[in-house]
Amino acid sequence: MFSERLASVKPSPSMAAKAKVDALRAQGRKVIDFTIGEPDFDTAAHIIEGGINALKSGHTRYTASAGTPALRAAIARKLERENQLSFRAEEIVVGCGAKHIIYNAFAASLNDGDEVIVPAPFWVSYPDMVALQAAKPVIVPCTESSGFKLKAAELAAAITPRTRWLILNTPNNPSGAVYTREELAAICEVLRAHPQVWLMTDEIYEHFVYNGARHVSPLSVAPDLRERTLLVNGLSKAYAFTGWRIGYGAGPLELIKRINLLLTQSTTCASAMSQEAAVVALDGPQDCVAEAAQLFAKRCDRVMQLIGQIPGLSCVRPDGAFYTFVNVQGLLGQITPEGRELASDVDVMEYFIMQAQVAVIDGTSYGCPGYLRISFATSMDEIENGFAAIAKAVAACRPAMGTIHA
């Protein structure tokens, strides 16, 4: 009766974490939420006004499945202005979020048994979206010592005749890793030797980079790979636009046509009102984006300070996005006040929400056990209170009997 493919797919861990927070709050518990993957502030007023004006102007009907001509032209201008990439409107497709584009790109290109290389830590949905196409996600672990980044040699070793895509997320969710131009060049050199492998670049966090890091689109490093590269982006993060649901892909015309074909038989089109507001966002003042980046940079600094004050926690400083990927291996083996051993990052996650009433997401869900993803897309007060509660919970633990400390 039901699709066998669903047996290999799990619910989104980030959505599951949000549901748990909502359930605890419904019970009257005060929970500090560090799971959120969206800005905690409202969409800028001029963009909201653009949406209101769209409704008043009659933008309440179906649009072209690939997106309105106005929005695709605005995206083309954005890519030229900010990324120095030239795309025609027909090489751009608009969806209900970047996630929607990624899913449909896989659906349009993968066959049973095909392989997609997914560096870990990865955004939780990549492997499951691949599995839903009866294809195989090939997970390549990227260690903390390498800054959680894929190395060219690791990529070369993972490629087989069945490899169809490499998906590269920079800045990265959950680690905050940002690939340099030199690192991207080395990866692209490997891809040149394997013409059957396409490159999908998820650049949704491009505007949030810190510590002197700079976002570089892989396509600007290797323009010769244009005919097998799909650039994926959207407005959700940069413009606090998550609920409006607008993402886009830019790539080879034949792939864009096939993604559009799927849209015609599924969602039909993205919201007309949201598309008009997106034009306002992309073509209008960009102060709101710069202010958000500055705010996240300050929060990142403070979060790193607070992590450094808690025994058992450590963290590679993120260069982008709005997450810290915290190493909790120093807590494993500790015994909670209830007598339970913290044997894994999942145990630590559950202990923090029950003991400290602070919600985080386990690193296992991102393909990297022993870590927790902690979002700083929340207020400074919540950050201070949350880490104070975590510090208290950690202090309440004790070493297991027989543990020897140097």
- Asked whether 352 and 342 are in contact (CB, 8 A), the reply is no
Long-range contacts of 126-133, Cβ-Cβ distance < 8 Å, separation of 24 or more: 126/102, 126/167, 126/169, 127/367, 128/8, 128/9, 128/10, 128/12, 129/102, 129/103, 130/106, 131/5, 131/8, 131/9, 132/5, 132/6, 132/9, 132/103, 132/106, 132/107, 133/106, 133/107
User: Cα dihedral angle (41, 45, 51, 54), rounded to 10 degrees?
Assistant: 180
**Residue 405: its pLDDT value, please?**
46
227-270 per-position pLDDT tens digit: 999 999 999 999 999 999 999 999 999 999 999 999 999 999 99
**Residue 382: its pLDDT value, please?**
97
**Residue 19: its pLDDT value, please?**
81
Number of C-beta neighbours around residue 380 at 10 A = 13
Pick out the chain residues at pLDDT < 70: 402-406
Domains and CATH numbers, the chain: 4-42+288-395 (3.90.1150.10), 45-285 (3.40.640.10)
**Residue 24: its pLDDT value, please?**
81
Measure the CA–CA gap between 274 and 71, rounded to whole angstroms: 10
**Residue 9: its pLDDT value, please?**
82
**Residue 276: its pLDDT value, please?**
98
pTM: 0.95
Number of C-beta neighbours around residue 395 at 10 A = 11
**Residue 402: its pLDDT value, please?**
55
Measure the CA–CA gap between 372 and 359, rounded to whole angstroms: 10
DSSP code, position 399: P
Measure the CA–CA gap between 110 and 101, rounded to whole angstroms: 14
Strands 358-359 vs 32-33: parallel, antiparallel or unpaired: parallel
**Residue 12: its pLDDT value, please?**
79
